[in-house]
Amino acid sequence: MPEMSAPPHINLVDPELYSHGDPFTQWRWLRANAPVHWQPPSDLPGFWSLTRYDDVRTAYRDAETFSSAQGILLRPVEHGADPGGGRTLALTDPPRHRRLRALVDEWFAVRSIRGLEPEMRGITRGVVDRALDLGSVDFVADVAARVPLYVICQMMGVPESDWEHLYELTSQAFAAGDPLTRRFAHLEILGYFETLQAAKAADPGDDLVSVLATAVVDGERLSPDDVLLNCDNLLVGGTENTRIAAAGGMLAFMERPGQWQALAGDADLLPSAVEEVLRWTSTATHIMRTATRRAEIHGQSIEAGDKVVFWLPSANRDESVFDDPDVFDVHRRPNRHLALGFGEHFCLGSVLARVELRLLYGELLGRSVRVEPDGEPALLDSIVVNGPERLPVVMKPGAA
Ligand code: HEM
């Protein structure tokens, strides 16, 4: 790989880098020249950056040394410890993590998701019908956000009459923009699930909130707070990344009509296209761990308590693993990307997310829907998730 003579200024924690800049130049340089790179403290703690595929995978594999219990996302030091630390699925270490995961694993297994497919197809069809009626839409808000939200609401036992309300709240809670609006919307979501979990604890149904509200782990019921934090984990996990990946994939297709045509000509390509969308969009920008003991990576000593950050989009463009990593190719095989994580905390919703993407693109292709740009997309201003915040398009029905 050619070494670049002048190193770029490295600052991966500037949100604008992801909305208006080019993080790939920095990641490429880091992979080639400084695979274990120290980012000094700012309002965020200092941390080690891992940018190579193999290093991220190796660290992922060692959940004892690289713990999730103190948070998996960088957060300002003044915000203190993550409230979910040691309590939610994403923020616990083994052995408790395994026990929490065992409660819900079955719900997200291939067989269960296959059983849900007819309903998911109906939801997807309804969302596409509505967008076609509107014609001119924001693909993020009107299409990509709705499918995963309605599906996870269904799995969690949220009555259908409340889906639209939760859609409004999650749109406000996740949108970049006024932090106060986001905070209030999030509090309202928590309030909603507080009421729902109490109702499900008293009268359990066949849904995820009932599972959590009645769960016994290590001989004890989960506390109402723990149930709530885990519901939040499922709702956020179930919607945010899929929304951005679906929209980011659509953007990639609009920029490369040949790839969409290839897919239209051969439906068997859908599974590999979905993998390529996941790799290409790598919507989870970073995932953090905290070292529980001394470790060494490429001769660099990592001390107990140090934060270590995995940059997933960088790992997924590692030229030592992927041929032509900067090319979006629906035929790509193999495609062992890390967009859904790896190891102990591998994405619980991986099967669901893949099916959602397949059904959405399949629905558009099957009906020969034309999706055309209708203005400039806007990218998210965030170091946590990356991809389109807004994607204005015109959607037109295909020839009957
Ligand atoms: C394109 C869509 C998605 C992407 C890119 C994505 C990405 C990820 C990543 C990178 C992780 C690993 C976090 C870590 O290493 O600490 C993860 C974990 C998780 N994801 Fe997803 N995810 C997606 C869809 C979903 C869906 C649909 C759900 C449904 C509930 C979901 C729920 C979760 C949960 C609960 C975890 C924590 C699992 C654990 O810690 O054991 N995700 N996801």
CATH number assigned to the domain comprising residue 184: 1.10.630.10
Cα(129)–Cα(261) distance, integer angstroms: 22
Position 8 in a domain: no
Question: Which ranges of the chain have pLDDT less than 50?
Answer: 1-3
Return the pLDDT at 322: 98
Q: Which of 348, 354, 359 to mutate to test the pocket of ligand 1 (most atoms within 8 A of CB)?
A: 348
Residue 1 counted as domain residue = no
Q: What is the pLDDT of residue 5?
A: 57
* The dihedral sign for the CA sequence 318, 324, 329, 333: negative
Residue 400, pLDDT score: 55
Q: How many domains does the chain have?
A: 1
pLDDT for 173: 87
Helix axes 224-255, 270-281, angle to 10 degrees: 110
C-beta of 92 in contact with ligand 1 (< 6 A): no
CA angle (125, 131, 132) in 5-degree steps: 85
Pick from 139, 94, 54, 147: nearest CA to 359: 147
Q: Token match 């629906």: residue?
A: 330
Residue 56 belongs to some domain of the structure: yes
Q: How far is the CA of 350 from the centre of ligand 1 (A)?
A: 7
Q: Where are the alpha helices (DSSP H) in 177-310?
A: 179-202, 208-213, 224-255, 257-265, 270-281
Asked if 131 and 363 count as a contact pair (C-beta separation under 8 A), the reply is: no
Cα 250 to middle of ligand 1, angstroms: 20
Question: 4 in a domain, yes or no?
Answer: no
Q: Which range marks the domain in which residue 91 is found?
A: 15-396
Choosing from 107, 235, 241 the residue with most ligand 1 atoms within 8 A of its CB, the one to mutate for a pocket test is: 241
Q: What is the pLDDT of residue 47?
A: 98
Residue 3 lies in a domain: no
Please choose, from the candidates 255, 195, 237, the residue with its C-alpha nearest in 3D space to the C-alpha of residue 353: 237
Q: How far is the CA of 183 from the centre of ligand 1 (A)?
A: 22
Q: Is the CB of 345 under 6 A from ligand 1?
A: yes
Q: How far apart are CA 196 and CA 157, in angstroms?
A: 9
Query: Which pLDDT does position 125 carry in this prediction?
Result: 98
Question: Is residue 73 included in any domain, yes or no?
Answer: yes
Ligand 1 contact via 287 beta carbon (within 6 Å): yes
pLDDT in tens, 69-97: 999 999 999 999 998 999 999 999 999 99
Would you state the pLDDT for residue 36? 98
**Helix 257-265 / helix 270-281 crossing angle, nearest 10 deg:** 150
